[in-house]
Structure 1
Amino acid sequence: MCCLLDALSETQGEWRHGYDLMKATGLLSGTLYPLLMRMTEQGLVEAEWREPAQPGRPARHAYRLTSAGTALARDLAGSAPGQPFKGALA
C-alpha cells in the first residue's frame, strides 16, 4: 500500500489511471485494483469514471488521494504538512 500511496502522492490532487499507477508502482493489476478498491472503501482514495481523450476508446476509472489519504501518506512519510513527501514511502 505504501508504494501506491507514494505514487498517488507524487501528483497530489491529479487524477491517475490504473495503467499509469501499475507502471509507477510495479504492481500487477491483480494486486493494484483490489488495493485501490479497498483504499476507496476506507476513504483514502476517490475514484471516478473518466471519459476517453480519444473517440472510440472506453471510459476508464481514475484515482486520486482524498485529504485522509494525503494525511496518511504524510504520517507514514514522517513529514510535516507543508513539506514534500514524494519518494519518502518507497
Structure 2
Amino acid sequence: MPIKLTVPVAKVLAALLADPTGEHYGLQLMQQTGIASGTLYPVLTRLQNAGWLTARWEDEDPSDAGRPVRRYYQLTAEGAEQARTALAELRAQTAVGTPMNSTRPAW
C-alpha cells in the first residue's frame, strides 16, 4: 500500500529511522517530532496498515510502572527500506539547486 509522504509522515519516518531496529512509543515519538497525538496516531496506523510497522502492547503491568501501558512500534525490514527510499526521494525533490529551483531570471 503506497504511503502519501506528508510532513508529519516524513517526521515520523525520520524519527523511526534514527533507531530503525528499536521499539518506539507514542509519547517518545511526539517529543522527537513535535507532532500532536491527534496527528501522530493516525500516521502510525497508516504505516502499520501498509506493513511498514509492527505494533505490540508492552507486557508490564501499568500499576507497577506507575503510568499507562505503552504500545511499541517497530519498523519492519520492508518498512525501513521503504522509509529510506521515500525520504531520499523527498530530499532529492526539495534539494536546493535542483533544476526546478535553479532557474534564473532572464534579466
TM-score range, shorter chain: 0.7 to 0.9
In the superposition, the TM-score normalised over structure 2's length comes to 0.66
Please list the CA deviations of residues 7-32 of structure 1 after superposition, one character each: whole Å capped at 9, or x if unmatched: 00001111011000000011000000
Unmatched tracts of structure 1, length 5 or more:
80-87
Looking at secondary structure, tell me which structure has more strand per residue.
Answer: 1
Larger Rg: 2
Structure 2 residue 26 is the aligned partner of structure 1 residue 10 = no
In the superposition, the TM-score normalised over structure 1's length comes to 0.78
Task: Give the letter aligned to residue 12 of structure 2.
Answer: L
Structure 2 residue 69 is the aligned partner of structure 1 residue 69 = no
**Partner residue of 2:58?**
50
**Partner residue of 1:82?**
none
Structure 2 residue 51 is the aligned partner of structure 1 residue 39 = no
Q: Quick one: percent identity of the two aligned structures? A: 36
Number of equivalenced pairs = 80
d(CA) in 2 for partners of 1:8, 1:78: 15
Moved over 3 A (4+): none
Looking at secondary structure, tell me which structure has more helix per residue.
Answer: 2
